Structure 1
Amino acid sequence: MSSARTAAVTLTLFRVVLGLLFAFHGAASLFGVFGGNRGSGQAVEFAAWPGWWAALIQLAGGILVIAGLATRPAALLCSGSMAYAYFVVHQTQGLLPLNNGGEAAALFCWSFLIIAVLGPGAFSLDGLLRRRAPEQRGSLVTAS
C-alpha cells in the first residue's frame, strides 16, 4: 500500500473512531444510555446549559464526523465545545488535565482540531461529493 493510501486509510479510521467515541458521549448524556451522563445512569435535563447543548453537539457532531459530511465545520464546532468544557469546567479545578479531570476534553479538542485542519480525507461523504461535483457540473444543461 502506498504511503498516500496508508495516510488516507489512517485518517479515515482516526476520524471514524473519534466520531464514534464523541457520539457515544453525546448519546449517554442525552438519553441516559451507556451509563448515562458522567456514569449517573441519567440523562441531562432538556435544554440545560451547558450540558444538554454540549451533548447535542457531541451526538450530532460525532455523527457528521463519522460520515465525513460537513466535516471541517462539524469538527471545528466539536473542538470549540471541548475547549469551552476544558477552560470553563475543568481548568477551574486545577491547571493540569491530570489534576482537573480534563484529559478527555483536551484530547477531544485537539483531535477535532486536527480533523478540522486536515479535512475528512478521501473516504468520506465530503470526498465523494467533491469527486462527483465536476461530473455534475459538466452535465448541466442551460437554457438560452
Structure 2
Amino acid sequence: MSAHFPATSRQAAEAARPYVLTAFRIVVGLLFACHGAASLFGVLGGVKGGGTIPFGEWPGWWAALIQLVGGTLVLLGAGTRSAALLCSGSMAYAYFTVHQEHALLPLQNGGEPSVLFCWAFLAIAVLGSGPYALDRLLGAREPAAEPAPQPTAVA
C-alpha cells in the first residue's frame, strides 16, 4: 500500500482528524459570528426582520458582542480555547435564562441552537484549534491534549 493512503479505517480517521477539527472550528466560529453581526448591525436578516439590538442592552447586546468577537476568534483560531469557553458559557446562560423557562426540552422551548452551540464550543475548548489556526502561524503553542489513559489488565 502507498505511503499516502492509510491502511485501516482507524489510520484514515487519525489522518483526517486535523482537517476535520479545523473545518469544524471554522464553520462553528463563522456561524456564531454571523449571529452576532446580524444582531449588532442588522445584516443577514438582523433580528426580528432586520432590526438590531439597542446598544448596551442586557443581556442581548452583550451576547451579540460575544457572538461576533468570540465567533471571529474561534473562526481564525486565535485564543481559541478561551474564546470557545466564553462562547460555550454564553450559550449555556442563554439556554437556562431564555429558553428553559418555556419548556423542559430544547425541542419544545426553541433552545436547540443554544444547546448545539454550547456543546460545539465546549468541544472546541477541550480539543483546541487544530493545527491550522492563526495561533499556530504566529508561533503561539497550545498545550497538547493528553493522550487517553490505556486500560490495564487486572491479574
- When the two structures are superposed, what TM-score results if normalisation uses the length of structure 1? 0.86
- Please name the residue that 1:24 is paired with: 34
CA distance in 2, matches of 1:56, 1:41: 17
- Please name the residue that 1:140 is paired with: none
CA distance in 1, matches of 2:15, 2:68: 29
Q: Does 1:93 align with 2:102?
A: yes
- In the TM superposition, structure 1's runs of 4+ consecutive aligned residues that sit over 3 Å from their partners are 1-5
- Please name the residue that 1:84 is paired with: 93
Equivalent position amino acid for 1:127 in 2: R
Pairwise CA distance, 1:126 = 1.9
Pairwise CA distance, 1:122 = 0.4
Number of residue equivalences: 130
- Please name the residue that 1:71 is paired with: 80
Per the alignment, in what secondary structure is the counterpart of residue 54 of structure 2? Answer: coil
CA distance in 2, matches of 1:102, 1:46: 24
Q: Does 1:118 align with 2:103?
A: no
Pairwise CA distance, 1:93 = 0.6
- Please name the residue that 2:44 is paired with: 34
- Please name the residue that 2:59 is paired with: 50
Percent identity over the alignment is: 63
Give 5+ residue unaligned stretches, structure 1. Answer: 132-144
Equivalent position amino acid for 2:118 in 1: C
- Please name the residue that 2:16 is paired with: 6
Pairwise CA distance, 1:66 = 0.6
Give 5+ residue unaligned stretches, structure 2. Answer: 6-11, 142-155
CA distance in 2, matches of 1:130, 1:84: 30
Over the aligned positions, Cα root-mean-square deviation in angstroms equals 1.2
- Please name the residue that 2:144 is paired with: none
- Please name the residue that 1:137 is paired with: none
Pairwise CA distance, 1:130 = 3.5
Pairwise CA distance, 1:125 = 1.4
CA distance in 1, matches of 2:95, 2:21: 25
